[in-house]
Copies of this chain bind each other. A is one copy, B any other.
Amino acid sequence: MTQVRVTKESLLTFATACFAKAGAEATIAKTMAESLLWGDLLGFRTHGMRRLPYNVKQLQSGAARGEGSVQVLNSRAAVETWDANGLPGLFVAPQAVEKACTMALHAGTGTVVVRRCEHVASLAAYLQIATDRGLLVNLMAATPAQSSVAPAGSSSRVFSPNPYAIGVPTNGAPLLLDMSFSVTAAGKIRQAYDRNELLPWPAIVTKTGEITNNPKAYIEEGGAILPLGGADLGYKGYGLCLQSELWTLGLSGYGRAEAVADGEQNTFFVQVIDPEAFAGKAAFVRVAEDLLTRCLDAQPIDSSQPVRIPGSGALANFQEQTERGVLLDELTWPRLQHCAKKLGVESPAVLGL
């Protein structure tokens, strides 16, 4: 059996039980399971349940804390700074978005910067916490112990492939964007390498400064990923990488020098904006829908590929999997079965495909 479908309820119960067995408090276990589930529902399979065994291992080894709460290092009316000290990002990220929402409803914007949480997985998973309340949200994350993206004009690895996400409410489906400021993600290079394929475009600068689409240059030979904009316009992606790391690591006061042994721990920045505090929610939505309609009405280059609103594909995945069950592919399902056996947790029941 290469891939299966299970109900989202059974998958949530299963993952919650796994995290609890691995040492997480009930609330933490449940929130972690919800965060991974949400990644899968939106179709971000590399950042969904496939990561469950990793999160279990981190809890078991003590690299991730299964209990306790974040330490609030500082706060003002519109901002808070947290030290998660190894709590799972899957648990801390939704809390941070909630807190930012609460501050935004009072101050107009709410910003939370969190250092030292275990890997947050998919940023897209947290956007709807804000958009469901009619709020705009922006998330950035960095991994300060990782270096893989080069500054413009350089062949050295300096930045992590920092993800960037925004969520925007409308009267209908929200706009959900999840991207990185590099030409490609490290996971896509790894996948091309494993499949012995070339990348679809030049994404790597070798140690000697050549630009290539050969994943070997990154995986084996110490090359770096190009910033967004590539060889010609990399100064733009470089600038955005700088912003991402200054707004996360800088504001949290915990940078690359401090984080060398932190593995996949993230530092992230979340900002929520209440449009009601500006020209009003109704005016915001009217302007947003006009703009999105202009995009949808724009002439496609390929008539079979109409222009899409960011997130429309993810939301279609969400809808389909809510109805038909969550798809667990050939890389994920065996891992979950393995975890079930090892932890003595019952596997979720398989639906017909």
Q: Does A74 contact B (CB under 8 A)?
A: yes
* Structural contact, B228 and A278, CB atoms closer than 8 A: no
Contact, CB under 8 Å: A301 / B153: yes
> Which of A77, A108, A271 gathers most chain B CB within 10 Å?
A108
A284, chain B: closest CB distance, angstroms: 5
Distance of A269 from chain B, by nearest CB (Å): 10
Interchain CB contact under 8 A, A300 and B154: yes
User: Which residue in B78, B158, B229, B258 is a CB contact (below 8 Å) of A294?
Assistant: B158
Contact with B along A228-256 (1 / 0, CB 8 A): 11001101101100110111011111111
Query: Contact size class for A?
Result: 35 or more
- Nearest neighbor of A248 in chain B, beta-carbon distance: B287
* Cross-chain contact of A158 among B236, B245, B295 (Cβ < 8 A): B295
Contact A310 B279, beta carbon cutoff 8 Å: no
The answer to whether A284 touches B78, judged by C-beta atoms less than 8 angstroms apart, is: no
Q: Give Cα A152 to B299, complex, Å.
A: 11
A187 located at the interface, meaning its Cβ lies under 8 Å from any Cβ of chain B in the complex: no
Of B77, B138, B239, which contacts A166 at CB under 8 A? B239
A277 within 8 A of B: yes
Residue-by-residue, is A298-331 near B (CB-CB < 8 Å gives 1, otherwise 0)? 1111100111101000000000000000000000
21 inter-chain pairs at a CB distance below 8 angstroms, sorted by A residue, are A73-B278, A78-B78, A78-B108, A78-B109, A81-B278, A108-B111, A113-B278, A153-B308, A154-B307, A155-B298, A158-B294, A168-B242, A168-B250, A242-B291, A251-B278, A251-B284, A252-B287, A253-B278, A256-B287, A256-B294, A257-B290
